[in-house]
Structure 1
């Protein structure tokens, strides 16, 4: 096997495959509403205020990808509804980790007042989501993970052009809202991936991604403004800058690991093109979102979630 290039690593890994399916803002919001019980076209249209053509396109894509399936609505032979498949339900863990990050770093006005809490339906015990190396294992730590290239590590084609959501919308959900304004399209995710592979300068990011320079400049600017990347001067004459992950950017790692695990389970039938390994034990990592206390995989059918008053944060004296 030939040594993979940086472009292979960034654009051909399992996370890149997942982002090509679920990386844009409208898709993330459609899945969020599906977890809340949305099944009919009108539910999403009324809830999200999406243009009809865009909603139709995203629903069709999610059905084609296998996350949703169409069924006849109960009591109607002519009306159709959309239901999450096992593949779609498994995306819940990724959504939860995205919401955890958003709660910490990109709160909406609603999230200033309320927080999402999760409970086991049978025991009533509170659940604390965390990304484990496998169900029943232990939480993943960024500095204890290495990768190994597998077969099929080749860049995938970026998704076909989609209308990007340019205006934020107001919702009353305490999970997945403002984060879609920051990372709501495929190229934003690609820039983030480049940062985790320690690409820092515009030219090297551009070479690795193969994206148009104006798109790259726009995504880097957005990431800096939103606090995910920081811009540092590394040369004065002429002035040149590099882009580094901030603490908020590094805190996206659990969500990315959750996405990696989901993609391995559903989008890599011939084996993972980029395997993760625990450095201390050399054991393979199969990332999954679990309850921190029990190590059991979080299943949206077995938990309930509630909106609770956000804890009051006090500064140290």
Structure 2
């Protein structure tokens, strides 16, 4: 992957993080992220085109838009939280620019990913990937484990 593609995708994650924090408007994103107008425009268009954000007018003259999460976009919240927790786990606590806290108590939380059914942590070697129903031949070769479902 080219470095420009990585930067574009990184901006996408940062924009989504801002939306989860309540930002909705172009100027808010630009001011907070210090991103160029052209990059921000491209990333917002991509997020709308991919169904993660919806563009809604909030002013008529001139027409201005805000960006709100769709259901698909909201479903990325756990991913953003997991990425932020992963990043924080590699920093000394004094170096963290943000932490996840309980909104009621203010107590810092340490997110983990668990199986919805069993509550077991998924970050162990007890869990592996296997080919799914729509897997291509190369994926089936890569993941030959077949389990009864």
TM-score, normalised to structure 2's length?
0.76
CA contact (8 A) 1:232 1:241 kept: yes
Q: Deviations over 1:256-284 (max 9, x none)?
A: 11112212212x22344322222456543
RCO higher in 1 or 2 (8 Å CA, sep ≥ 6)?
1
Of residues 257, 265, 269 in structure 1, which corresponds to 2:92? Answer: 269
Name the one with the larger strand percent.
1
In structure 1, the partner of 2:43 is 219
Q: Deviations over 1:152-175 (max 9, x none)?
A: xxxxxxxxxx2327xxxxxxxxxx
Of residues 68, 71, 76 in structure 2, which corresponds to 1:247? Answer: 71
Alignment partner of 1:233: what SS? Answer: strand
Alignment partner of 2:130: what SS? Answer: strand
CA contact (8 A) 1:260 1:287 kept: no
* Number of residue pairs matched by the alignment: 133
Q: Taking structure 1 as reference, are residues 293 and 163 closer, same or farther at Cα in structure 2, changes over 3 Å only?
A: same
By how many angstroms is 1:227 displaced?
0.7
Unaligned runs of 5+ in 2: 135-149
In structure 2, the partner of 1:82 is none
Q: Taking structure 1 as reference, are residues 231 and 261 closer, same or farther at Cα in structure 2, changes over 3 Å only?
A: same
Unaligned runs of 5+ in 1: 1-25, 27-53, 55-161, 166-182, 311-317
In structure 1, the partner of 2:112 is 288
Alignment partner of 1:232: what SS? Answer: strand
Aligned counterparts of 1:238 and 1:184: Cα–Cα separation in 2: 28
